Amino acid sequence: MEVFRPARPTGTGVLVLAGSSGRVDTQRARLLANHGALALPMQWFGGPDQPPGPWQVPVETFTSAVDLLAEEADFLAIVGVSFGAEAALVTASLDPRVGAVAAFAPSHVTWPAYDPAQQQWVSHWSWQGRPLPFVPIHDPSTRTPDHGPPTYLPLYRASIEAATAETLARATIRVEDIPDVLVVSGGDDQVWPSADFARAITSRRTSHRLDTCHVHFPEAGHRTTLPGEDAPVGGRRMARGGTPDADRTLGAMAWPHLLTTLRLPSHGA
Summarised one tens digit per residue, pLDDT across range 142-201 is: 555 556 677 889 999 999 999 999 999 999 999 999 999 999 999 999 999 999 999 999
Q: What is the pLDDT of residue 17?
A: 97
Share of the chain above pLDDT 90, in %: 82
Beta strands in 49-94 (DSSP E): 57-58, 75-81
Q: What is the pLDDT of residue 140?
A: 66
Q: What is the pLDDT of residue 151?
A: 84
In sequence order, what DSSP letters do the residues of 140-191 get, joined into one string?
Answer: GGGG--SSSS---HHHHHHHHHHS-HHHHHHHB--GGGSSEEEEEEETT-SS
- Partners of 14 in beta bridges: 39, 77
Q: What is the pLDDT of residue 241?
A: 78
Q: What residue type is assigned to position 68 of the chain? A: L
Q: What is the pLDDT of residue 128?
A: 96
Over the chain, what is the mean pLDDT? 93
State pLDDT tens for residues 93-106.
999 999 999 999 99
Candidates 3.30.750.24, 3.40.50.1820, 3.40.50.1980, 3.30.70.890; CATH matching 12-262: 3.40.50.1820
> Of 12-26, 130-144, 169-183, 217-231, which gets the smallest average pLDDT?
130-144
Instruction: Classify the C-alpha dihedral 46-50-55-60 as positive or negative.
Output: negative
This prediction has a pTM of 0.94
State pLDDT tens for residues 27-71.
999 999 999 999 999 999 988 889 999 999 999 999 999 999 999
Query: Residue 235 above 60 pLDDT?
Result: no
Query: Residue 231 above 80 pLDDT?
Result: no
Q: b/e string for 87-124 if b means 16 or more Cβ within 10 A?
A: bbbbbbbbbeebbbbbbbbbbbbbbbbebeeeeeebbb
Mean pLDDT of 234-241: 66
- Please, which pLDDT band fits residue 23 given cuts at 50, 70 and 90? confident
Q: What is the pLDDT of residue 88?
A: 98
Q: What residue type is assigned to position 43 of the chain? A: Q
Q: What is the pLDDT of residue 240?
A: 77
Q: What is the pLDDT of residue 149?
A: 73
Q: What is the pLDDT of residue 54?
A: 92
> Of 113-122, 145-154, 256-265, which gets the smallest average pLDDT?
145-154
Mean pLDDT of 118-130: 95
Q: What is the pLDDT of residue 22?
A: 79
Beta strands in the chain (DSSP E): 12-17, 38-42, 57-58, 75-81, 98-104, 112-115, 120-123, 125-127, 130-131, 180-186, 213-217
Instruction: For 216, list phi and psi in degrees, rounded to 5.
Output: -135, 140
HSE at residue 35, side-chain half, CA atoms within 13 A, is 20
